[in-house]
Amino acid sequence: MPAESERTEMLDSETKAVETPEDHADELRLWLRLLTCTTLIEGEVRGRLRQRFDVTLPRFDLMAQLDKAPDGMTLSDVSKRMMVSNGNVTGLVERLVESGHLDRRTSETDRRVQVIRLTKLGRAEFRKMAAEHETWIADLFAELSPKDVRELMRLLAKTKASAQKSAARRRP
Amino acid sequence: MPAESERTEMLDSETKAVETPEDHADELRLWLRLLTCTTLIEGEVRGRLRQRFDVTLPRFDLMAQLDKAPDGMTLSDVSKRMMVSNGNVTGLVERLVESGHLDRRTSETDRRVQVIRLTKLGRAEFRKMAAEHETWIADLFAELSPKDVRELMRLLAKTKASAQKSAARRRP
DNA sequence: GGGAAACATTTTAGGCTTAAAACAATTTGG
DNA sequence: CCAAATTGTTTTAAGCCTAAAATGTTTCCC
């Protein structure tokens, strides 16, 4: 426990629990700052992808998932990985098949399942974009020291675990 | 500088700059983790707002901005604060006026400007939602110690500054 | 075998979001 | 003063996104 109290109005921990509403302002500020950072970076990446490659961020993200899976993925896999709804993936895939970046085929062993892969074109274009994308990210985080990066990684891992537990508490 | 090298393949800093492509994998992983955390929390908040109050997250966010500005804000102000496009705000405001949560009037001193405020209903509903929302956030971050929270705040502030500088470098 | 449950995907309806163009009002600099 | 630039907002066109319902397929298990 830290020496300094973060709740200055609290004089006696016995009287706290029931009566005084807890002070959650710090967590709220933290959440807003987290959201700001993400929005800022995401907007920047989105803009650069559009300007340099005329591609949208969701398309890029989907292709990134597939680049890591040479044997293809099912739509459900993609949807879980990207943390978006099923219907969303259906539409995205439709457009990427249309533009020749993706190949979609029904699984031979389970006719419910659609397996999607990058086409040769899709893979080539993705690799080109990904190389540049990586330099943008490095530039956006340029002022963080290697130690900062490690520390942020650690704290965000803890945050993710905390949020997942909270979500599981509500939806068991 | 940390004692341990994070780029094991680099033997001589003289030869680095031009020839070997830099290793940005750590920053990329950090960005993905940041995005995962935000998406996770955002999705959770979105779902709870819908279930408990039948309200969308963007509506809630807009009302949160206005709650902090009793004298109202212009659409541009809101758009900058929320980091979304102008047209987006136009549509959101339209729906919130329609539902009786917002009041919109043209400024008397500048006929270009629209000033929006929460109505009595809008303020009352927002306050109710905000109180509960704060407990959700606290719960989502529950496993972070006060020290973790402070440290994250510090590192995210640094991240934000870094990203803003990078964005400014590109779009001066 | 056959019905119920589970699963994968698509569809639907509605809302959110963006970039860019269009429009309207004000400010500015000659 | 007045044309040009700037500012604030809306419109447009396209795409993204969700939750929930619908559809088709497979698995479970009695």
Going across the sheet that includes A114-118, the strands are A73-74, A114-118, A102-106
- A150 CB below 7 A from strand C atoms: no
Spatial CB neighbours of B168, under 8 Å, sequence gap ≥ 6? none
Output B127 or A4, whichever has higher pLDDT: B127
Domain ranges in chain A are 26-164
Tell me the percentage of chain A whose pLDDT exceeds 70. 87
- A171 CB below 7 A from strand D atoms: no
- How close B141 comes to chain A (CA, Å)? 6
Query: Looking at beta carbons, which pairs linking B31-35 to residues 24 or more positions away fall under 8 Å?
Result: B31/A41, B31/A137, B31/A140, B31/A141, B33/A153, B33/A156, B33/A157, B33/A160, B34/A34, B34/A37, B34/A38, B34/A41, B34/A152, B34/A156, B34/B159, B35/A38, B35/A42
CATH of A26-164, picked from 1.10.10.10, 1.20.1070.10, 3.20.20.70, 3.40.640.10, is 1.10.10.10
Question: Which nucleotides on chain D have any atom < 7 A from a protein Cβ?
Answer: 7-13, 15-21, 24-27
The pLDDT assigned to B2 comes to 46
The pLDDT assigned to B6 comes to 46
The pLDDT assigned to B34 comes to 98
Strand partners, B118: B102
Q: CATH code for B27-166?
A: 1.10.10.10
The pLDDT assigned to B56 comes to 97
pLDDT tens across B24-64, in order?
A: 899 999 999 999 999 999 999 999 999 999 999 999 999 99
Smallest Cβ distance to A137: which of B2, B31, B165? B31
pLDDT tens across B83-114, in order?
A: 999 999 999 999 999 999 999 999 999 999 99
The pLDDT assigned to B109 comes to 94
Question: Which nucleotides on chain C have any atom < 7 A from a protein Cβ?
Answer: 7-13, 15-21, 24-27
CB A149 within 8 A of CB B149: no
The overall average pLDDT reported for chain B is 90
H helix count then E strand count, chain B:
7, 3
3-state secondary structure of B117: strand
Residue bearing tokens 């994998």 = B25
Q: Which helix (H) or strand (E) holds B118?
A: strand B114-118
Give this complex's ipTM: 0.88
Smallest Cβ distance to B140: which of A33, A156, A166? A166
